[in-house]
Amino acid sequence: MRKLLLIFTFFSLFFSFQLKAQVFQFGINTSSNMLSGDFTSTDINSETSGFATYGYGGNLDFKFYAQKFGFGARVNYNFYERDRYAYEVAIRKKLGIVDDKYFVRDIGLMMDYGFQLSFSYKIPVKGVFNIEPYIYLGFNVLATPPNEVIYNKSSLTYTYQTQLMGYIGYSFSPGVKFQWDIGKHFGLNLYFEYSGTSYESDAQRIINYSSTTFESSYRVKSYNINAVNFGMGLNFYFGKGLEK
Digit-coded pLDDT (tens) for 52-105 = 999 999 999 999 888 888 999 999 999 999 999 999 999 999 999 999 999 999
pLDDT at 120: 94
pLDDT at 202: 94
The contacts of residue 90 (CB under 8 Å, 6+ apart) are 42, 43, 44, 51
pLDDT at 183: 85
Higher pLDDT, 21 or 130: 130
d(CA 200, CA 103): 31
- pTM across the whole model: 0.85
- Asked if the model's pLDDT at residue 22 lies above 90, the reply is no
Q: Could you tell me the CATH number of the domain that includes residue 155?
A: 2.40.160.20
What does the mean pLDDT of the chain come to? Answer: 89
Q: Which of 166, 163, 162 is nearest to 142 (CA)?
A: 166
> In total, how many domains does the chain have?
1
Q: What is the CA 123 to chain-centroid distance, rounded?
A: 28
Average pLDDT (26-49) is 94
Strand duo 123-126 + 202-209: pairing: unpaired
- Asked if the model's pLDDT at residue 43 lies above 60, the reply is yes
Q: How many CB atoms lie within 10 A of CB 141?
A: 15
Q: What percent of the chain has pLDDT over 70?
A: 90
- pLDDT category at 20 given cuts 50, 70, 90 is low
Q: What is the domain extent for residue 195?
A: 2-243
pLDDT at 19: 46
